[in-house]
Amino acid sequence: MSKIKAAITGINAFLPDYRLTNDELSTMVDTSDEWIMQRIGIKERRIMKDPDKATAYMGTKAVKGLLEKTNTRPEEIELLITATITPDMIFPTTSNLIAYKAGLKNAWTYDMLAACSGFLFALQTGAAFIEGGYKKIIIVGADKMSAITDYSDRTTCPLFGDAATAVLLEPTSEDVGVMDHIFHTDGSGGKHLYLKAGGSLHPASHETVEKREHFVYQEGQAVFKFAVSRMADVSVEIMKKHGISPDELTYLVPHQANMRIIEAVARRMGLIKEKVMINIQKYGNTTAATIPLCLWEWEDKLRKGDKLVLSAFGGGFTWGAVYIKWAYDHVS
């Protein structure tokens, strides 16, 4: 008997309407469109402006659209995992809220906290449940990064945007689906990229608010060097492990953090630009949503059997790659 694997059988996304352009950012901090495009590669990013709507709202929109798109009944979903670092609140979990709002009455839920690697970690976790006998699982990657972005910090405020994505996982005995993964974490990198306050070590207080410790902190150069080397290493490793040449790989699907990081990783992998999914210029870094947002945008170009390497690097540090064979031809 063929081994059961997990296949992505549908994908959907939700994007807020508001576009925060570089020109608008330049009225808020000392920056410019030229500076941002040259160093980061982002032209605009989507922002959830409504203060009463957050990650669970966006995730629910993505899930409801996915159910409709794949003709799936809400009660068929057995498990929902949400990758996010911007939960609506500490508890209940964002997954719990999404499942309730989307009518997933038979699903149990939990959140995955792994920063920009969160979607990959959640995808592989969901795949393991499918291999263990589950039939229908939804993986959400969603973040309202504008909620933890300091718009007085010119080094970080151009980076982030808001978005939510949802993918449906189902079992298959065909030679498609999630084939393999390589994951790593290294807590020594936490000092370079973190959100200091709001947890049990530094609970919210007047002092933490005054010191602006509830926003993302990043040491750009340290993160850049680590991200390039680790994302490239793990991506090349998984290609070599499965004997995939640059010509045979259909697409690299990289985390969209910085155009220079993406280009450096692609060079290490020996890939031409046409084999790299890039949409950072439109959406910025949406953290757990970036990789599935690429898959959603490229869905009509993907064909059954296409070989993809999904690669990410995130705060903590966390990093990894997933090798998948695409499971379907998109029908509009």
β-bridge partners, 244: none
The per-residue pLDDT of the chain, averaged, comes to: 95
Per CATH, the architecture of 178-325 is what? 3-Layer(aba) Sandwich (3.40)
> Could you confirm whether domain 5-174 is CATH 3.40.47.10?
yes
Name the catalytic one among 22, 157, 181, 255: 255
205-215 pLDDT, tens digit per residue, is 999 999 999 99
pLDDT at 224: 82
Q: Is the pTM of this model over 0.85?
A: yes
Name the catalytic one among 12, 157, 285, 294: 285
The mean per-residue pLDDT over the stretch 282-294 comes to 98
Name the catalytic one among 12, 22, 96, 116: 116
Residues of the chain with CATH 3.40.47.10: 5-174, 178-325
255 is catalytic: yes
The mean per-residue pLDDT over the stretch 260-266 comes to 94
Split at pLDDT 50, 70, 90, the class of 315 is confident
pLDDT at 189: 84
Question: What φ, ψ does residue 174 adopt, rounded to 5°?
Answer: -80, 170
81-99 pLDDT, tens digit per residue, is 999 999 999 999 999 999 9
Split at pLDDT 50, 70, 90, the class of 194 is confident
Q: Is the pLDDT of residue 1 over 60?
A: no
285 is catalytic: yes
pLDDT at 193: 85
The mean per-residue pLDDT over the stretch 149-170 comes to 96
**Strand ranges for 94-198 from DSSP E:** 108-112, 137-144, 162-172, 177-185, 193-194
Split at pLDDT 50, 70, 90, the class of 219 is confident
- Within 13 Å and on the Cβ side, how many CA atoms surround 118? 29
The mean per-residue pLDDT over the stretch 128-148 comes to 98
192 is catalytic: no
Nearest C-alpha neighbor of 289 from the set 146, 90, 152: 146
